[in-house]
Chains A and B, each alone.
Chain A
Amino acid sequence: MENTFYKIVAAIFMGLMILFLWPRVKFAMQNSPKGERKDWQTFALLIAGVVLFVVLLITVR
């Protein structure tokens, strides 16, 4: 019963966060400058580095 109540409160909070984020997401999508292919490659490479690092942490834990 308490677990259900916890989930309901968490769900309400997440729902409100989604409502709060929605206009900001729309604004960011419409107003973010467009990156060039090279910019996205750099970004993807850095994120891939993070992925590899996390895999390394899981392996050596």
Chain B
Amino acid sequence: MFNNQTVVTRPRESVLETNKVLRNTYSLLSMTLLFSGLTAAVSTSLNMGPWTYLISIIAAMVMAIFVLPRTANSSTGVLVVFAITGLFGFALGPILSMYLHMAHGGRIIATAFGGTGVIFLALSAYVLTTRKDFSFVGGFLMVGLLTLFVLSLVNLFIGMPILSLAISGAVILIFSGFILFDTSRIIHGGETNYLFATVALYMDIFNIFISLLQILGIMGSDD
């Protein structure tokens, strides 16, 4: 009898724990998206220079790699997540300024923003409703990510516009895959820390937004 109860209770506790992680992740993700929208607005209105993007991204990645793991199990971790996402938002300033000075730039930003939202909501809804396990794509996505870094490094010096466009397209596909992978990890108990889960999903959204913005900007230019 006791054993049966234990067997029944454990999965239920596990499900409750998973739901809690999921709820906390989406709550924090909403707040960090709003916060990074605010820092992006501040950075845009201050007309920050082109170095802002690189410095903010480096600072955010350093915090995500070295500071977050040390604070993820304390309340300080939430502040670190806000700092990371705030820096990512601040990085957007010079890019958004550039688009806002283009013809139809505001519409391109709005389309990229809406498109990113649709991709994120559709893929998340698929995983949440089917509860399909996408852990099998982990290796494939990591190889894809590494390849993207190598190609971006090469393109930094050769500067081929077509390769830049191809990289942006591939970034959207790889990070769409990461949305499936990260959401699946949360609901199957692979990620039990909502701070890590939030940063992972935030980075998926950020990278899709930036790349969609670039693709729509290139395709939308009259040159």
List chain A positions with a Cβ less than 8 A from chain B.
Answer: 6-7, 9-11, 13-15, 17-18, 20-22, 24-25, 28-35, 39-40, 42-43, 46-47, 49-51, 53-54, 57-58, 61
Contact = CB atoms under 8 A, between A and B. Distances in A.
Contacts of B108: 61
A28 B141 CA distance: 9
Interface in B79-137: 107-108, 111, 115, 118-119, 122-123, 126, 132, 134-137
Contacts of B63: none
B46 to A, nearest CB: 19
Residue of B119, B142, B150 contacting most chain A CB atoms (<10 Å): B142
Q: Could you tell me the dominant secondary structure of chain B's interface residues?
A: helix
B137 A57 contact: no
B173 interface: yes
B60 to A, nearest CB: 11
A61 B113 CA distance: 13
B201 interface: no
